[in-house]
Amino acid sequence: MSTTAATTRSPRPITGRTVLLYFVSFFGVIFAMNFYMVRVAISSFSGVETESAYKAGLSFKNDVAAAHAQDARHWSVDAALQRGDAAGLIITARDSQGQVLVGLIPEIRLAHPTDKRRDMPLEFVELTPGRFKSLTPMPEGQWDLVINLKRETETVFRSKSRISL
């Protein structure tokens, strides 16, 4: 009987100090994890699509009119990806009769679908009137191809398409 009495210990009493230690430790871990999650969320936030929703709302009527004018032109703007030694993106712009369009200035970029900070403008050279080739190397992944064709300062064609490179 003496061996069992020596191996059994009396339970440790729960004091106010023990409860306070467990309480502070529990909420300390919760606070540390919340702080970490907020920090990661803020540092990875790439921004919003529109800087000012109010200004975008005011310009909506102009955007609708520009879209109707673009549809009325019946232009055909094609993008083709070339692979191999002469890799690049070829943009060809034609009018409703199939004639190449002249006097256009391309403003083309690859927009990352989830991270605005990874957007890349593409540099283009005009091969022939209405036909442009990118000089910028194409990164792999899914992108939004944003094509803006301008005449002087007016945007006459706008397109946004999801592509996979």
pLDDT tens digit sequence for 89-136: 888 999 889 888 888 889 999 998 888 888 899 998 888 888 899 888
What does the alpha-carbon distance between residue 103 and residue 152 come to, in Å, rounded to a whole number? 8
**For the residues 125-148, what does the mean pLDDT come to?**
88
Q: For 13-127, where are the alpha helices, taking DSSP H only?
A: 16-44, 53-58, 60-73
pLDDT at 144: 92
pLDDT at 59: 86
**For the residues 138-157, what does the mean pLDDT come to?**
89
- 34-83, pLDDT tens digit by residue? 999 999 988 877 666 677 788 888 888 888 988 998 898 888 899 888 77
pLDDT at 49: 66
pTM of the predicted model as reported, rounded to 2 decimal places = 0.65
Contacts of 124 (CB under 8 A, 6+ apart): 91, 106, 108, 132, 133, 134, 135
